[in-house]
């Protein structure tokens, strides 16, 4: 019965007083960066410091949707590479990440929305990423429960179908990356809260934590929605606004929904998990905050939106509701930066609601950036200084928009 024995995926390591590289935040971004630092660049003297437990942040709370149908070529390229990584990582980590390649259908409810879809699909296709325009009838063939009549408040005018996307199990990604990073020598310290950052002569020299001081040569801030607070320890202001997003799951049902569908007009997206639940989001509360508060208002809104689009869901019960933080930037594109005024300091933040799908690819390039000190070309577009030069990314024109953040 050896196969029944529980085996730990990774083992806690003793806390050293000094590491070459320290990463703040045990989410997908921090863990992926640590993994690639050790695996690809041979930098194994790395610690990931996580104040709670790995996956406590957005990485364990997201709705697990992955796709590459962004608006601007720079972003499409980046996310398209991210999408390809799930398969290689599943092999590399020897851990089932449960990539369910079911495709995403974005619904459009006006002619203007369809024009937006046309432009987006052209960009995707030009870059070799599959996306196609569907009429309402084709949308209903893909997802039989959709009401394509003119009864709903926002009737369906068409859709943008993106076959390469789907769902990946988020816990598996966190655990798999932790397993892989630890196997290459990375130390993961949970329950270790960073409270201050030390610098000397314009370089970072270490962090002050709830478990004492830890020295380092290189420091990565990868604290998701808490990045603004961590950067503030060095007096650094960021254009990153922490806002809560909420999500729900219903009771499990027999499989009937075989794709992710979403609608910006209704502020809703939904898919059926491999367990049969309808997982749905997303609502973003308007005010900056660091809580994970869920609200009755959201539940009501979610029910109305789901039932209007798919009336057959009207008797289905919600089982759970939760919230997590999203680190919103003004242009809906992230900040990947090593030029922050302190030597050895790196930042990977501002992912909004796109940070799960981008975790591994961002980690891959942040590891290269931190290992070589040279900014990889693909990250040029994500510099912090764009906000000081009025060169915002065009991502706010993307088809996916779910909240007050406009």
Please report whether residue 289 would count as binding another protein according to CB under 8 A.
yes
Q: Interface with ligand FAD includes 354 (CB under 6 A)?
A: yes
Touching ligand FAD, residues 272-301 (CB under 6 A): 281-282
Q: How many CB atoms lie within 10 A of CB 184?
A: 17
Nearer to ligand FAD, 150 or 237 (CB): 237
> Can residue 296 be called a binding residue for another protein (CB under 8 A)?
yes
Does 191 interact with another protein (rule: CB under 8 A)? no
- Our CB check for ligand FAD shows the closer of 57 and 152 to be 57
Pairing of strands 335-337, 132-134: unpaired
299 binds another protein (CB under 8 A): no
Q: Residue 238's binding partner, choosing from ligand FAD, another protein, none, with beta-carbon cut-off 5 to 8 A by kind?
A: another protein
Q: 312 contacts which partner out of ligand FAD, another protein, none, CB within 5 to 8 A by kind? A: none
What residues numbered 5-34 form the site for ligand FAD, per CB under 6 A?
A: 24-30
Q: What distance in Å separates the CA atoms of residue 274 and residue 179, rounded to the nearest whole number?
A: 23
Our finding on whether 347 is near ligand FAD (CB under 6 A) is no
- Residue 71 contacts ligand FAD per CB under 6 A: no
* CA of residue 96 relative to chain centroid, distance: 19
DSSP 140-168: HHHSTT---SS-SSS---EEEEETT-EE-
The secondary element (H helix, E strand) that includes residue 194 is strand 194-200
266, 356, 365, 382: which one contacts ligand FAD (CB under 6 A)? Answer: 356
| Of residues 78 and 226, the one with the C-beta less far from another protein | 226
If we measure between CA atoms, which residue out of 218, 226, 234, 207 comes closest to residue 46? 218
Q: Does 406 sit near another protein (CB under 8 A)?
A: no
Within positions 206 to 225, which residues make up the interface with another protein, using CB under 8 A? 208, 223, 225
Contact 187, 214 (CB under 8 A): no
Tokens of 399: 């088809």
The rounded distance, in Å, linking the Cα atoms of 249 and 273 is 9
Q: How far apart are CA 337 and CA 260, in angstroms?
A: 32
Cis peptide before 282 (omega within 30 of 0): yes
Positive or negative torsion for Cα 221, 212, 214, 36: negative
Select from 104, 120, 108 the least CA-distant residue to 164. 104
Question: Which residues contact another protein by CB under 8 A?
Answer: 51, 193-196, 208, 223, 225-226, 228-233, 235, 237-242, 285-291, 293-297, 330, 387-390, 404
Question: Which residues contact ligand FAD by CB under 6 A?
Answer: 24-30, 49-52, 56-59, 61-65, 193-194, 222-226, 230, 245, 247, 281-282, 324, 326, 351, 353-357
């Amino acid at each position: 019965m050896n196969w029944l024995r529980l085996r730990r995926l990774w083992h806690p390591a003793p806390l050293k007083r000094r590491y070459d590289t320290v990463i703040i935040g045990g989410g997908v971004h921090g863990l992926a960066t640590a993994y690639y630092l050790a695996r690809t660049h041979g930098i194994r003297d790395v610690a990931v410091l996580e104040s709670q437990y790995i996956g406590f942040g957005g990485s364990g709370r997201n709705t697990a949707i992955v796709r590459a149908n962004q608006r601007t070529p720079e972003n499409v390229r980046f996310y398209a590479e991210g999408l390809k990584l799930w398969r290689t990582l599943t092999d590399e980590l020897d851990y089932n990440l449960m990539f369910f390649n079911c495709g995403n259908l974005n619904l459009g409810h006006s002619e203007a929305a369809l024009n937006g879809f046309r432009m987006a699909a052209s960009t995707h296709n030009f870059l070799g990423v599959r996306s196609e325009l569907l009429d309402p009838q084709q949308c209903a063939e893909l997802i039989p429960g959709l009401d394509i009549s003119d009864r709903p408040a926002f009737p369906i005018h068409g859709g943008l179908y993106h076959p390469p996307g789907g769902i990946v199990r988020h816990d598996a990604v966190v655990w798999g990356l932790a397993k892989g990073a630890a196997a290459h020598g990375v130390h993961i310290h949970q329950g270790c809260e960073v409270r201050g950052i030390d610098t000397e002569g314009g370089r970072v020299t270490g962090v002050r934590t709830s478990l004492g001081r830890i020295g380092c040569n290189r420091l990565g801030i990868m604290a998701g929605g808490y990045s603004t607070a961590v950067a503030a320890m060095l007096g650094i202001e960021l254009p990153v606004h922490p806002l809560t997003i909420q999500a729900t799951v219903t009771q499990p049902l027999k499989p009937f929904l075989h794709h992710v569908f979403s609608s910006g007009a209704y502020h809703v997206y939904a898919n059926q998990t491999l367990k049969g639940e309808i997982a749905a989001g997303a609502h973003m509360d308007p005010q900056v905050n660091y809580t994970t508060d869920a609200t009755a208002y959201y539940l009501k809104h979610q029910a109305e939106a789901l039932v209007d689009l798919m009336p057959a869901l009207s008797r289905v019960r919600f089982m759970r509701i939760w919230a997590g933080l999203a680190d919103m930037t003004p242009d809906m594109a992230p900040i990947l930066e090593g030029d922050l005024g302190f030597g050895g300091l790196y930042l990977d933040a501002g992912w909004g609601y796109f940070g799960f799908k981008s975790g591994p690819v961002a980690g891959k390039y942040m590891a290269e950036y931190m290992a070589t000190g040279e900014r990889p070309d693909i990250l040029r577009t994500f510099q912090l200084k764009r906000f000081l030069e009025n060169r915002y990314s065009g991502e706010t024109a993307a088809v996916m928009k779910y909240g007050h953040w406009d």
